[in-house]
Structure 1
Amino acid sequence: MERNTRQRAAILGAIQRAGRPLSPAELHTLARDEAPALGLATVYRNIKMLLLDGCIREVDLPGEAPRYEEAHLGHHHHFKCRVCDCVFDIADCKTDWHAFAPPGFVVDAHEITLFGTCPKCSGQAPLSSPPHSADGHSHG
């Protein structure tokens, strides 16, 4: 049981350190820093447990396998870099989405994903010091 707890803590720690949604493969790579013997099948089993426990939530992007982030994060959106495939959080949501709905429609939820190139892949310096990705580079 201690092994499972250590592995689960390593996976959750990887999500917390990354500060962005991670794929199971990214989770596997990052969590192995703390649990070197961690296998990919174990990552998938622990993802299920962490979802059931309410510690993490799924991030669904069109046409892709889910990624995972901390569950306590409030409403926010995502940006996906088309070059490195990393997904990043967009914290602000200041748009009045009701203005975009057809007349008579009521908006009760929305999800937005922006696509483009992150600062690392476009060769531009980020505006702030963002978290490190699975490849060890800063992204913004």
Structure 2
Amino acid sequence: MTATRSTRQRDVIARVLDGAEGPLAVGDVLARAQADLPGLGVATVYRTLKLLTEQGRIHPVTLDGETRYEPAGRGHHHHFSCTRCGRVFTLHACPVALPHGTVYPGGFIVEAHEVTLYGQCPACAGARD
């Protein structure tokens, strides 16, 4: 029974991450997964995130000092962090034209880049105070 339960928990957590609009913090994963598994605990979420990371199914993203998780294999993308509601969204269009090998002024050779844009998401921008 333990293996089945563990697999169910893993499947629910993986499904939560797959369906998210962007990388999720541990607390967000826990809250969303508890909709299907009300008894799910935070320790199980941490263990499952570690396992899924080791399996290469997800990877951690650090934004503003907080580790969030998203599915692996989504290709080159960036993030938008809403300063009002705190949600993070995946952006599939790259706002920076710096391909691998570009020589940046000063002799810096670009190997990769990460961009996080900050502002208000559509829901918050449309909300009235």
User: Which TM class, normalised by the smaller chain length?
Assistant: 0.7 to 0.9
Counterpart for residue 93 of structure 1: 94
Q: Report the Cα distance in structure 1 between the residues aligned to 2:126 and 2:113, rounded to whole angstroms.
A: 31
Gaps of 5+ in 2: none
Code of the residue aligned with 1:82 in structure 2: it is T
Moved more, 115-124 or 3-12: 115-124
Q: Report the Cα distance in structure 2 between the residues aligned to 1:16 and 1:118, rounded to whole angstroms.
A: 20
Q: Cα distance, 1:16 vs. partner?
A: 1.1
Code of the residue aligned with 2:123 in structure 1: it is K
Confirm or deny that 1:117 pairs with 2:120: yes
Q: Report the Cα distance in structure 2 between the residues aligned to 1:58 and 1:45, rounded to whole angstroms.
A: 14
Which of 29, 41, 59 pairs up with 1:57?
Answer: 59
Moved more, 11-20 or 90-99: 90-99
Q: Identity, % of aligned pairs? A: 43
Code of the residue aligned with 2:29 in structure 1: it is L
Q: Report the Cα distance in structure 2 between the residues aligned to 1:82 and 1:73, rounded to whole angstroms.
A: 24
Q: Cα distance, 1:96 vs. partner?
A: 2.3
TM-score by length of 2: 0.87
Helix, strand or coil for the counterpart of 1:97?
A: coil
Gaps of 5+ in 1: 125-140
Moved over 3 A (4+): none
TM-score by length of 1: 0.81
Q: Report the Cα distance in structure 1 between the residues aligned to 2:51 and 2:80, rounded to whole angstroms.
A: 27
Q: Report the Cα distance in structure 2 between the residues aligned to 1:34 and 1:68, rounded to whole angstroms.
A: 19
Which of 18, 21, 24 pairs up with 1:22?
Answer: 24
Q: How do residues 46-85 of structure 1 correspond to structure 2 at under 5 angstroms?
A: 46-62=48-64, 64-85=65-86
Counterpart for residue 6 of structure 1: 8
Give the number of equivalent residue pairs.
123
Q: Deviations over 1:89-116 (max 9, x none)?
A: 1101263226782143211111111111
Helix, strand or coil for the counterpart of 2:19?
A: helix
